[in-house]
Amino acid sequence: MLRRLYEKTMRLAEGPNALLALVLVSFAESSFFPIPPDALLIPMVLAQRERAFKLAAWCTAASVVGGIVGYAIGALLYDTLGKWIIDFYGYGQNMDAFRATYAEWGAWIILIKGLTPIPFKLVTIASGFAGYDFWLFVLLSIITRGIRFFLVAGLLHIYGEPIRNFLERRLELVTAGFAAVIVSGFLIVRYVV
């Protein structure tokens, strides 16, 4: 089953709707969706290595625009939609402490958490909720998301074929590792941050 899903994802990555799917997932992940765009970016770059940096640029732009929507949810709709999203992910009890931390460490929070498996939507909504400077938030989001997606694209552009071979030989192990990274991001925010 996992092998069929991988092959279907690789076909999607080479298909005519791949870029639209990547943009939509990148946008949605920054404001409400649980799956990171790496799940599409990686197979798309492996399928079309010559477009690696173009794909990273689209992924970054869509993620930042989605982050702006997440910021708006936190700033304007926190009591309704924002709180529901944060509670859905199980982090509602930490938002007041998170807001207080922004006064001193806001830039570092955005930069570090934008690079980690910690869900970026939590950062975007919390930034709006905390009233963090909007333009600084946008600039920091461009930097952190750009570094993350261009780093992934660059490594795959350079080492793509060995990585693809490794993925295909050890698909179950890689999938379990990817799932563990996503789950660990949620757990870190819930129990550590």
**Residues in Cβ contact with 68 at an 8 Å cutoff, skipping those fewer than 6 apart:** 124, 138
- Measured over the CA atoms of residue 183, residue 188, residue 191 and residue 193, the dihedral's sign is negative
For the cut 70, the answer to whether the pLDDT of residue 172 exceeds it is no
Q: Residue 56's pLDDT is what?
A: 96
In one-letter notation, the amino acid at residue 73 is I
Residue 91's pLDDT band, with cuts at 50, 70 and 90, is: low
Q: What is the pTM of this model?
A: 0.78
Q: HSE-up of 53 (CA within 13 Å, CB side)?
A: 2
Contact of 59 with 37, CB cutoff 8 Å: yes
For the cut 90, the answer to whether the pLDDT of residue 86 exceeds it is no
pLDDT tens per residue across span 42-51: 888 888 889 9
Of residues 16, 14, 36, the one with CA closest to residue 25: 36
**Would you say how long the chain is, in residues?**
193
Q: What integer best gives the mean pLDDT of the chain?
A: 80
For the cut 80, the answer to whether the pLDDT of residue 69 exceeds it is yes
For the cut 60, the answer to whether the pLDDT of residue 12 exceeds it is yes
For the cut 70, the answer to whether the pLDDT of residue 179 exceeds it is no
Domain boundaries, the chain: 2-173
Dihedrals φ, ψ of 192, to 5°? -110, -45
For the cut 60, the answer to whether the pLDDT of residue 52 exceeds it is yes
Q: Which two tokens stand for residue 141?
A: 């989001």
Contact of 37 with 11, CB cutoff 8 Å: no
pLDDT tens per residue across span 116-167: 666 788 888 888 988 889 999 999 999 999 998 998 899 888 887 777 677 6
Q: Residue 169's pLDDT is what?
A: 67
